[in-house]
Amino acid sequence: MAEAPEFGLFVDGRWSAPPGARRFETRNPANGESMGSFVSGTPEDVRAAVGAAAKAFPAWRDTPAPKRGEILLRVAAEYRARKEEIGRIVSREMGKVLSEGRGDVQEAIDFVEYMAGEGRRLAGETVPSELRSKFCLTVRQPKGVVACITPWNFPTAIPNWKIAAALICGNTVVFKPASNTARCAVEVVKAYEAAGVPPGVLNLVTGPGGSVGNALVDDPRVRSISFTGGVETGREVYVRGAKRLAMVHLELGGKNPVLLMEDADLTLALDGVLFGAFGTSGQRCTATSRLILHEAVYDRFLDLLLKRLERFPVGDPLDPKVEMGPVASADQEQKILEYIRIGRSEGATLRTGGEKLTGGAFDRGYFIAPTVFETRPGSRLATEEIFGPVLSVLKVRDYEEGVRVANEVPYGLSSSIYTRDVNRAFRAIQDLEAGITYVNAPTIGAEVQLPFGGIKNTGNGGREAGSAAIEEFTEIKTVFVDFSSKLQKAQIDPVAP
Ligand code: UN1
């Protein structure tokens, strides 16, 4: 087998590998192919990267935002020119099918372009004063050095949601990607390098959460941390950050329902549920992991779903006929198989799948059959995040029960209702406890120009993407300009009409 290409850390505008550095490899989850060898960063590497980011901050902050935007447009052009190449790397390293690999890169392009435009907005407010000859306004200022800690499931899109937003606002960044998509992270950063981002403005440190992640979160020079990942790690990041009063933005899990009512267009819903549940092998925070089915269409829809799954091509993600690739890693595979065992042991009815796929090419990767269980509200299968191709189906009598079941989980990211009743659709928009609600569309597929995030255990109240990203990465400064040439006392001076 060819030697794995070696990649370094990117600190202060240079790729380098500390002499004698420990290394790790990433591998294609479909066949074990090596995707590269990466530096297992240390707390010392983190200190160097934060130092470079801190040094670069004043000049980047003072670069006019529209000029920062021009650099982002060049980043987007790089991704555009290399979309096919990087899309294939995404599919090979993470396992999503190629159309989705390309989509991942497209989402990065969309967001970077959107943020480039923000360079000409970054709006504050102007409001009246209670005194004469006094002007009140707000301006947005960058926070300083920010840490972007990202997951493997959208290995080019999510890093860019954070990095491009942080940079347009004038922050400098230390980027710590999930280890099993380190190669994608290198490609993410290369585009910024090629676009001429000044040294130190964006730094990449690969390596484990225990050393790199914790050192970043604990570094007093890092003002703000943006983290997407699992709830347990998110909670730890929040607590560590809280100890030194850092800002922490969290995007965590989901257990997203499709509420399918008796008047829904079943053909439309069928495509939506299949894509929502089994797209990206169910490894999206937004994946449809619960199908809440009205009893009047329960049997009919379940039959349609199972029939489609009889010929649902699973295999090599680069094969255009394949609809679902492997899951991303051995750990993922174990965790998903464990949930399948839990489902069986708590008495859920397995309708299809429920096993690792074996034989032939399957033996070289982590393939799990698309799995459907009939489950009960409150069961572990129906309430805990699995992050895999496992759909829980729940039967309900009416809309009210459907909403109760939809809301019974500790998460609140995405949600969906299929109905032709416009009144009910609007009620669902009010009733579903989630940061995102789709009407007649699955729970996945958010667009970058709108805020993204959730309630309950999905996060800690913030949103990313859209205009919300600007909130995440700026401080507001309130400014009072008194041009009366005398001391005026707010709340005290009488002002005659
Ligand atoms: C995620 O799974 O963390 O809405 C992000 C979607 C994608 C982003 C998902 N645009 O499904």
pLDDT above 60 for 489: yes
90 Cα to the center of ligand 1, angstroms: 15
Assess whether the C-beta atom of 154 lies below 6 angstroms from ligand 1: yes
Counts for the chain of helices (H) and strands (E), in that order: 15, 21
pLDDT above 60 for 384: yes
pLDDT band at 231 (very low <50, low <70, confident <90, very high): very high
Average pLDDT over residues 145-167: 98
Please give the distance of CA 369 from its chain centroid, rounded to a whole number.
25
Cα-Cα-Cα-Cα dihedral of 474, 108, 215, 95, to 10°?
A: 150
Chain segment 36-73, per-residue pLDDT in tens: 999 999 999 999 999 999 999 999 999 999 999 999 99
pLDDT above 70 for 444: yes
Average pLDDT over residues 417-430: 98
Q: What are residue 259's DSSP bridge partners?
A: 292, 417
Please state which of the ranges 16-25, 182-191, 213-222, 283-292 shows the lowest mean pLDDT: 16-25
pLDDT at 2: 58
**Cα separation of 364 and 479, whole Å?**
62
pLDDT at 19: 85
**Cα separation of 369 and 418, whole Å?**
26
142 Cα to the center of ligand 1, angstroms: 26
H-helix segments, 356-435: 380-383, 399-406, 422-431
Of all helices (H) and strands (E), which one includes residue 349?
Answer: strand 349-352
Q: Which atom of ligand 1 is nearest to the CA of 107?
A: 10
**Cα separation of 271 and 280, whole Å?**
15
Residues with Cβ within 8 Å of 345's Cβ and at least 6 positions away in sequence, in order, are none
The CATH number of the structural domain formed by 256-439 is: 3.40.309.10
Ligand 1, pocket-test mutation among 284, 414, 450, most atoms within 8 A of CB: 284
Domain 6-252+459-478 has CATH 3.40.50.620: no
**Cα separation of 269 and 443, whole Å?**
11
Assess whether the C-beta atom of 451 lies below 6 angstroms from ligand 1: no
Residue with tokens 């950063």, as numbered in its chain: 189
Q: Which of 251, 333, 464, 472 is catalytic?
A: 251
Tell me if 366 sits within 8 A of 328, measured CB to CB.
Answer: yes
Ligand 1, pocket-test mutation among 281, 285, 386, most atoms within 8 A of CB: 285
- Identical fold between 6-252+459-478 and 256-439: no
**Cα separation of 224 and 401, whole Å?**
41
Residue 226, classified by CB atoms within 10 Å of its CB into exposed (0-12), middle (13-18) or buried (19+), is buried
Q: Which of 148, 169, 184, 285 is catalytic?
A: 285
Taking the domains of the chain in order of start, what are their residue ranges?
6-252+459-478, 256-439
Q: At what angle do helices 298-310 and 266-278 cross, to 10 degrees?
A: 50
Q: At what angle do helices 98-118 and 157-168 cross, to 10 degrees?
A: 10
Assess whether the C-beta atom of 382 lies below 6 angstroms from ligand 1: no
Contacts of range 231-237, beta carbons closer than 8 Å, 24 or more positions apart: 231/385, 231/457, 233/209, 234/459, 237/149, 237/213
**Cα separation of 188 and 37, whole Å?**
16
- Cut 0.85: pTM above it: yes
Average pLDDT over residues 301-307: 98
Asked about 285 being catalytic, the answer comes back as yes
Assess whether the C-beta atom of 444 lies below 6 angstroms from ligand 1: yes
Average pLDDT over residues 435-449: 98
Q: Which atom of ligand 1 is nearest to the CA of 228?
A: 3
Assess whether the C-beta atom of 249 lies below 6 angstroms from ligand 1: no
Q: Tokens for 226?
A: 């943006």
Q: Which atom of ligand 1 is nearest to the CA of 414?
A: 4
Average pLDDT over residues 205-220: 97
Asked about 236 being catalytic, the answer comes back as no
Assess whether the C-beta atom of 448 lies below 6 angstroms from ligand 1: no
Assess whether the C-beta atom of 284 lies below 6 angstroms from ligand 1: yes
- Could you tell me the CA-to-CA distances from 79 to 108, 175, 194, 368, 471 in Å, in that order? 8, 18, 10, 31, 26
360 Cα to the center of ligand 1, angstroms: 32
Please give the distance of CA 168 from its chain centroid, rounded to a whole number.
19
Count the Cβ atoms, other than its own, within 10 Å of residue 368.
Answer: 25
Assess whether the C-beta atom of 153 lies below 6 angstroms from ligand 1: yes
Chain segment 105-123, per-residue pLDDT in tens: 999 999 999 999 999 999 9
